[in-house]
Structure formats: C-alpha cells, structure tokens
Structure 1
C-alpha cells in the first residue's frame, strides 16, 4: 500500500502544475469575496476529479482488474513504466514547444463568486478526456489489487496532491491579506512565462522516478 501511495503522490505532484486549473484559480482569488470563491473553486475541482476517478476505478476498472489477474502481477510494474514513459514524453513535447506555449494567453474566466463552483467543475470536466497521468494512476490503483477502501484512499491522496497548488493559493489569500492581490499577480505572471518549462522539468523528474520504480519491480 505504501508503494501505491508513493506512486500516487509522485504522479499527482507532476500533474498538479496544470495552468488550466492554476490560472483560473488565480483569477478567482482576485475577484469579489476572494477567500470563499477560491475555496469553492478548489472544492469543485477536487470533488469532480475524485468522482471521475472513483467512477472509472470501480466501474470499468473492475473489468480491467479481472484482465490484470489473468496476465499476472508484472502488469502493475509495466503500467508504472508506461506511466513514467508517458510523463517523460509529455515533458519532451512541452519543452520543445515551450516558447510558443508561453506566448499564449492563459484563461481569463469570470472571477465572480457565483460562478466559482461551476467554473471549477466545468474546467476539470473538460480536462478529463486528456488527463493521461490520472488515467495511468487509476490503472495502477486498479492493478494494485487493494481493497475498495484502499483504492479509494489512494485516489483521495492523488487528488489532494492534484489540488496542492490551489491550496497554496487559498493560503496566500488567507494569510497575505493586504498584499495578497500583488502576490497573486506575480504568481500569474510567473505561470504565464514559465509554466511550460517548470511543468516539463517536473514531469521529466517524476516520470523517470515512476519508470524506475516499475523497472525495479521487474528485476
């Protein structure tokens, strides 16, 4: 179980540096009643993302589990290697196109509080079809053979890691108070200029770690 939790944390931290969620959260945090709005946004992202993972793991995942049991225990290690390779590939693509990506404007949503819940749910629902690191994590959870409670715990840990940057924004709004908007503005500027490079570096490191864990299991 500890190995599975470590894998969830590793993939989630790389997946969490997502401008599609961080940039809107920064905007929401600068709107009216910023503290409540950014909390609502974060809760919506967490709940929808977790619910989708649970649905996949306990629905189609059961069918995958029966296939995994037939193929043998090494399938988990192969899935970890595949997940690591996918993260390394994504890192390479981000690095190659980093200049063009950094020149694109980040999302500019309506920061009004009344839309923050719907905004978070809509953004994460739209992101799910291309959430390949999450799919790899779900596959690893299903292949782990853990009980339903263990799988739910692993998915919850993943999603806590996924929203850590949003929790950091909440902490900034709560603790910085007077200069919160200035700090958030600097954060948005950094995300705008550097997110492809930072995300590529993180995905590369975590992807290699995940792949090494998988290779170690095969040896």
Structure 2
C-alpha cells in the first residue's frame, strides 16, 4: 500500500491548482487499472505455467539454485544503500493524456517490486475459486492499494493549505526510505525462496 512513487506523485498533483481532482482521479485509476490487468493476465496464465514447471522445482539441482538465489537476496538486502534524494515522475503537460502516461510510467517503475501482489496472485491461482471470485479479490486488492493517496487527497480537502508542509515532508521521507523498502522486499523474498526450497534439497 505504501508506494513511494504513487504517494509522491499524488502529493505533487495536490500542489497543482487546475483540475486537481480529475488529474488525481485519472492518475490513480490508471495505476490501479494497470496492476489489475497485470493480475488478471497472470491469473489466466499462471495455472498452466505452474503445471508445466511443478516437477522441475522438485529437482534437487533446481532446489539448490533457488536456495542460493534466496540466500543471495537475503544477504544483499542488508547492503542496499539508502537513497539521499530521488526525482519522481511528473506530468509534462496539463493534458489528460500526460496524466495517464504518468500513471503507466509509475506503475511500470514499481511493478517489478510488487512481490506481495505476486504472492497473492500465486495463492489465488492454487485456490478453488471461480473467475468472478478471484476477479473481485484482485479488484479489492487494487482498491486498497490506492487508498493511501485517496486518504491524502481527502485530508487535503479537509485541511487545505495547512497540509502543504506535512505532505512535502512525507514525500521527501518516502523517497529517502525507498531504498529501505527495497531492502525489506529483498529480505522477505529471499526467506520465502529459502524455505520453499528446503524440502527438496
């Protein structure tokens, strides 16, 4: 839920005076829509993929490779440098298409680190759910994902310019701690790979 890029761009859009509401709405809709399409695409193809590779992962050599990859990720997570500063994507023009492109670029930047989302999709793919059920779950997941920026927008509507300084400070803090977030993701994924490979070593 705490996506540094998505929240940071939302803060940036809150500082705009023209068409603020519509631009934020289309930005978040684009990000959530992109992740939803990725989730549906993976759900439609992951079952066949799992069936084709399930026997491969039971091979001792493959298990050792997975174990080593997990160990490398776990160890490397302690050496991820913290970012002192970073530039977030920003709209190049006032046109609506620029906001949609901004949403797509933000989603593309962070989709590779959305391991909790991929883990949830993996769990759904092994569950006995109907298409309507897992589509609803994916939609709910993506709705929850954009709740923090929506909450920031609501707070801005309620408290107005009083929120300017806290939002800017939040944006800078999220940017500086994005390296730490990557470190946690690497650590968690490494542990998951290690434990999932132990049975076949």
TM-score, scaled relative to structure 1: 0.63
Deviation at 1:136, TM superposition (A): 2.3
Aligned to 1:25: 10
Aligned to 2:158: 175
Question: Looking at CA atoms only, which structure, 1 or 2, has the larger radius of gyration?
Answer: 2
Aligned to 1:134: 117
Alpha-carbon RMSD across the aligned residues, in angstroms, is 3.6
More helix by proportion, 1 or 2?
1
TM-score, scaled relative to structure 2: 0.68
Deviation at 1:129, TM superposition (A): 4.5
* Structure 2 gaps, min length 5: 56-65, 197-201
* Structure 1 gaps, min length 5: 1-15, 72-81
Distance 1:176 1:19, change over 3 A: same
Alignment of 1:35-114 (within 5 A): 35-58=21-44, 60-64=45-49, 66=51, 89=73, 93=76, 95-99=78-82, 102-110=83-91, 112=94, 114=96
Aligned to 1:12: none
Distance 1:122 1:198, change over 3 A: closer
Q: Which runs of 4+ in 1 moved over 4 A?
A: 65-68, 92-95, 198-201
Q: Is the 8 A contact 1:65 1:143 kept in 2?
A: no
